[in-house]
Amino acid sequence: MKLSIYRYDPETGDPPRMQAYDVQPEAGDKKLLDLLMRLRVQDDSLSFRRSCREGVCGSDAMNINGRNGLACLTALDGLKEPIVLRPLPGFPVIRDLIVDMTQFFAHYHSIQPWLINDQPLPERERLQSPTERERLDGLYECILCACCSAFCPSYWWNPDKFIGPSGLLQAYRFIADSRDTATAERLDFLDDVYRLYRCRTIMNCTEVCPKGLSPSHAIERIRLALLRRSS
Amino acid sequence: MDRPPPRLPVFLNLAAIRFPIGAIASIAHRVAGVLLFIALPIVALLLDASLRSEAGFAAVRDLLSSPFRVVTAALLSWALVHHVLAGVRHLLMDVGVGSELARARTSARLVLVAAPALALLLLVWGLT
Amino acid sequence: MRLFDGQRAWVVQRISALLLLVLIVFGVLALPFASPLDFSGWRAFAGGVLGGPLIALLFGALCAHAWVGMRDIVLDYIQPRGLRLAVLSLIAVVLLGVLVRVLLSLATVGLAA
């Protein structure tokens, strides 16, 4: 199969270029990552992140034929050739398909992604009813791969100020949690022209989420929660 | 906030990115909005002229007198219709109506197709 | 008031949108009943107790809506502070100019009526 891959080597300092590859998939090669692993045997200078190879670690996110996705979940069947691979759009490129996620994780940390509860600790665990637990479905599954934020134009234009779809989905995951008592503070933090309100609901995030989650829906719920609070 | 080390390249070639239908409806919404913003002062001046004198009123009534003006009116009709339809779509999605991906795709496609059609109708009505 | 407010701007955008939608729908519905307009009829409408406020409301909502929308575009695409401030000022001047022009026009016909 033919591929065209974005190459950048910080040691030479040469501008990025596209490099053509041709690699034969072998029996059992189903996903794009399988092909990339074969490629690495052919050219060991080619750099990309990968770990679990089954859509849980979120490290092999990249731009595949113009859309963000995980190489390990992208089926080779139906991919148009040459398969064009580029690093996540809008993220600083460290080498080839490896991007700098520093800012992305800084946004994640900014929403305080942990349970805040000022009540005294119960003797055993804090219980949730099945209904309360269900509210976290579609939120807790996020693997922080950055496919969504790197496909969001609002995040491209203001990557330092807009929290981005991934961080906002995580923010809503804690707002929606019945065990968390910091909802008011969380909403205060989000009520900002940049942090939340850069979203224009174009739904690029939901389009590319490899876990089938809907950050745009979480953002919609945050805006409604803010509206309910101030009315 | 931590800034990445300086001078790292960034891939952001918009022509190499495959935009979903929702993004296309959205950028059209934005372009239409800008067109309407540009038209706003002109409309205010037309309103003033139409109220000022008999001759001014006649001039505004017979505005679509040259091909250039008809084309401009066609463009602005599209801008108005698209902006209104896409706006209604967003207002509904704000309260959770059609904000699920499959429905949002359908409504985006609908808006993109309906806007030029309705704009044409509007223009024909304006010409007669 | 903060110039770049979060929720308030979003609410202004949505409420002005709803208002404009209502005005447009009623305008379209009223069209078949409107008598063929001549100059004096148009002046009487715009200077009347119904038409004047309606037109003022229309342009007020248009300007508020345009401000939030154009401001969002500037916040997205124009990053240098100086240029951003200049463009935002220009937009504000245009919109205020539109509002003043319309109110003056309406006042003139209103007084003449």
Res C70: pLDDT? 98
Res C1: pLDDT? 42
Q: Which residue among C69, C91, C108 sits closest to B33, beta carbon to beta carbon? A: C69
Of A99, A123, A141, the domain-final residue: A99
- Distance between start and end Cα atoms, chain B: 59
Together in a domain, A51 and A127: no
Choose among B87, B70, B86, B68: nearest CA to B122: B70
Helix/strand/coil for B5 = coil
Of A99, A133, A153, the domain-final residue: A99
Together in a domain, A181 and A72: no
The string of pLDDT tens digits covering residues B58-113 is 999 888 889 999 999 999 999 999 999 999 999 999 999 999 999 999 999 999 99
Res B3: pLDDT? 54
Range of the domain at B70: 20-127
- What Å distances lie between residue B124 and B12, B41, B112, C28, C90, CA to CA? 42, 24, 19, 15, 35
A140 neighbors A197 (Cβ within 8 angstroms): no
Choose among C2, B19, C12: nearest CA to A194: C2
Number of domains in chain A: 2
Question: Among A46-60, A139-153, A161-175, C20-34, whose mean pLDDT is lowest?
Answer: C20-34
CB contact under 8 A, B33 and C43: no
C88 neighbors C71 (Cβ within 8 angstroms): yes
Number of domains in chain B: 1
Mean pLDDT of C16-21: 98
The string of pLDDT tens digits covering residues A207-220 is 999 999 999 999 99
Together in a domain, A125 and A44: no
Contacts of A157 in chain C (CB under 8 A): 76-77, 79
Q: Indicate which CATH number applies to the domain containing B68.
A: 1.20.1300.10
Inside any domain, residue B62: yes
Does residue A14 surpass a pLDDT of 70?
A: yes
Range of the domain at A24: 2-99
Together in a domain, A216 and A142: yes
Question: For chain A, which chains pass the contact test of at least 3 CB pairs under 8 Å?
Answer: B, C
The string of pLDDT tens digits covering residues A166-180 is 999 999 999 999 999
The string of pLDDT tens digits covering residues C23-79 is 999 988 887 777 777 899 999 999 999 999 999 999 999 999 999 999 999 999 999
The string of pLDDT tens digits covering residues A84-138 is 999 999 999 999 999 999 999 999 999 999 999 999 999 999 999 999 999 999 9
Together in a domain, A132 and A221: yes
- What Å distances lie between residue B122 and A138, A223, B118, B125, C48, CA to CA? 43, 35, 6, 5, 27
Does residue B6 surpass a pLDDT of 60?
A: no
Q: Rounded to an integer, what distance in angstroms lies between the CA atom of residue C25 and that of residue C30?
A: 9
Res B2: pLDDT? 56
Partners of residue A69 on adjacent β-strands:
A62
Res A153: pLDDT? 98
pLDDT band at A1 (very low <50, low <70, confident <90, very high): very high
The beta strand positions in B9-126, using DSSP E, are: none
Of A40, A66, A99, the domain-final residue: A99
Q: Indicate which CATH number applies to the domain containing A17.
A: 3.10.20.30
Q: Chain C within 8 Å of A73 (Cβ-Cβ)?
A: no
Q: Rounded to an integer, what distance in angstroms lies between the CA atom of residue A177 and that of residue A161?
A: 25
Res C4: pLDDT? 61
Together in a domain, A110 and A214: yes
Res A167: pLDDT? 98
CB contact under 8 A, A193 and C75: yes
The string of pLDDT tens digits covering residues A64-91 is 999 999 999 999 999 999 999 999 999 9
Together in a domain, A185 and A78: no
Res C2: pLDDT? 54
Q: Which residue among C4, C11, C77 sits closest to A157, beta carbon to beta carbon? A: C77
Res C31: pLDDT? 78
Secondary structure (DSSP) of B86-100: HHHHHHHHHTTTT-S
Average pLDDT of every residue of chain A: 97
| Topology of domain C7-112, CATH | 3 helical TM bundles of succinate and fumarate reductases (1.20.1300)
Question: What does the domain layout of chain C look like in residue ranges?
Answer: 7-112
Burial class (CB in 10 A: 0-12, 13-18, 19+), C2: exposed
Does residue A57 surpass a pLDDT of 70?
A: yes
Inside any domain, residue B115: yes
Other CB atoms within 10 Å distance of the CB of residue B69: 12
Choose among C55, C57, C51, C64: nearest CA to C113: C51
Contacts of A16 in chain B (CB under 8 A): 9, 11
Q: Which residue among B2, B94, B101 sits closest to A106, beta carbon to beta carbon? A: B2
Q: Indicate which CATH number applies to the domain containing A182.
A: 1.10.1060.10
CB contact under 8 A, C66 and B84: no
Inside any domain, residue B13: no
Inside any domain, residue B12: no
Nearest CA in chain C to B54: C39
Res C111: pLDDT? 82
Res C113: pLDDT? 67
Does residue C11 surpass a pLDDT of 90?
A: yes
Strand bridging mode A67-70 / A93-95: unpaired
Helix/strand/coil for A81 = coil
CB contact under 8 A, A192 and C77: no
CB contact under 8 A, C94 and B40: yes
